[in-house]
């Protein structure tokens, strides 16, 4: 799930409600945005979604991969086809 989808899907819940219903919120396996006085203060994220976010962050740290993505975007903008094989090879797949 993308970060934007995660934020849009998050159920707003005030701090007291979150404290009283923490077990229920965890069992729902859906994101919850914890609010204090109507302002976001925390975020409850299902484990699998958090793993996806951490993986994405790790990928963003890979300068070689980011360079390939930039190159592919330039090729695409110029109307050039980007062979999937080239990207897969660079990614080690």
d(CA 46, CA 1): 11
pTM of the model: 0.59
Summarised one tens digit per residue, pLDDT across range 23-43 is: 999 999 999 999 999 999 999
User: Is residue 90 scored above 80 in pLDDT?
Assistant: no
pLDDT at 2: 64
Which single residue is written with the structure tokens 């790790």?
58
Mean pLDDT value across residues 11-29: 95
For residues 59 and 65, the answer to whether their CB atoms sit within 8 Å is yes
At 12, phi and psi to the nearest 5? -75, 135
pLDDT bracket for residue 15 (50, 70, 90)? very high
> How far does Cα 69 stand from its chain's mean position?
18
């Amino acid at each position: 799930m993308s970060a934007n989808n995660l934020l849009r899907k998050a159920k707003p819940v005030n701090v007291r409600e979150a404290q009283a219903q923490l077990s229920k919120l965890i069992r729902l396996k859906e994101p919850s945005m914890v609010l204090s006085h109507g302002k976001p203060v925390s975020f409850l994220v299902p484990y699998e979604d958090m793993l996806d976010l951490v993986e994405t962050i790790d990928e963003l740290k890979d300068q070689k991969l980011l360079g390939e993505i930039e190159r592919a975007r330039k090729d695409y903008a110029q109307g050039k086809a980007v062979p999937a094989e080239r990207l897969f090879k660079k990614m080690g797949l």
